[in-house]
Amino acid sequence: MENFIEQRIGEAFTPEGILAHLGTSTLGRRIEVHPQVGSTNDLAREAGRRGEPEGLVILAEEQVKGRGRLGRVWTAPQGCCILCSVLLRPRFSPEHAFYITIAASLAIYRACVALFDQEASHNHELNKPQASSLKTPTIKWPNDVLVDGRKVSGVLSEAEFSGHDWAFAVVGFGINVNLRTEQFGELQSVATSLSAELGRPVDRAKLIAHVLQELESLYLLLQGGQFGPVHSQWARALETTGKQVTVREAAGIVEGKTLRVDPDGALVIRTRQGEEKRVLAGDVLPGNGQ
């Protein structure tokens, strides 16, 4: 039985395997699975330009040109992670584009929290002492999901516009699912995987179905103009609030204490000089989060 479960969990993605767990009405009703691509975001953008309907999900077992924000690289060993892009056709104003990233990180965060909660109650049922090593996921502003301070997932939203309106949006995310920490190489101190944190393999098909389900319900709120509830849930999950941070933005470095996130997603920092600074795009640098 154990072997069977291991084998099933380690299986390649198939659309049918995911659809069997999927309860969405739009997202993922059409799924493409590719053994190897440049970047799933590129394929989703091509699909957007071809006029494919929203909800198309592109998954790959391997990316040779996986990208992060600002020209950075996303790396993942073949066949053990989630590398996914979703085509969206938002109806809300493009000025709220940042909410797509917020919704995706919140969806991934929620699916991860559910996994960790299940593990805790499973341990409880088995009368195992609560694994003191079991950590809670958090979101690091603006787009990372962390477990115990290390990155388990990143989100890259991209959009194309037609005049002042959307042509379409693509939200791409990578989730480190079944990897040993040694497989991260030089990223080992900053990255982790769900299997490493839980101490067991995770069913990728179930997980992606759960993420898509969460993403759809958040996206429906956005399509209905309800940004407030999405923002407040995201703000609650942020590990960055109330901490001393150093943030790198295009204009330079901002240091200070994080006060809040504004409705447009900006991180508000009180600098040592007592000034309030809003950072709309940047990175919270590691190692200074207390």
Q: Amino acid letter at 55?
A: G
Q: What does each C-alpha distance from 60 to 40, 63, 79, 246 come to in angstroms?
A: 7, 7, 8, 34
User: Which residue's beta carbon is nearest to the bound ligand BT5?
Assistant: 154
123 or 181: CB nearest ligand BT5: 181
41 or 138: CB nearest ligand BT5: 41
171 or 269: CB nearest ligand BT5: 171
Structure tokens at 108: 């991934």
Q: How far is the CB of 42 from ligand BT5 (least distance, A)?
A: 7
Q: How far is the CB of 287 from ligand BT5 (least distance, A)?
A: 13
* CA 206 – CA 290 distance, rounded (Å): 35
52 or 120: CB nearest ligand BT5: 52
82 or 218: CB nearest ligand BT5: 82
25 or 189: CB nearest ligand BT5: 189
Q: How far is the CB of 155 from ligand BT5 (least distance, A)?
A: 6
**In contact, 260 and 270? CB cutoff 8 Å:** no
Q: How far is the CB of 190 from ligand BT5 (least distance, A)?
A: 6
57 or 155: CB nearest ligand BT5: 155
State phi, psi for 253 to the nearest 5 degrees.
Answer: -105, 135
Q: How far is the CB of 76 from ligand BT5 (least distance, A)?
A: 5
| Contacts for 223-226: CB closer than 8 Å, 24+ residues apart | 223/90, 223/91, 223/92, 225/92
191 or 254: CB nearest ligand BT5: 191
Q: How far is the CB of 142 from ligand BT5 (least distance, A)?
A: 8
Q: How far is the CB of 71 from ligand BT5 (least distance, A)?
A: 8
β-strands 276-279, 244-249 pairing: unpaired
Binding site for ligand BT5 (CB under 6 A): 39-41, 63, 66-70, 72-76, 83-85, 143-144, 151, 154-156, 172-174, 176, 187, 191
Q: How far is the CB of 124 from ligand BT5 (least distance, A)?
A: 30
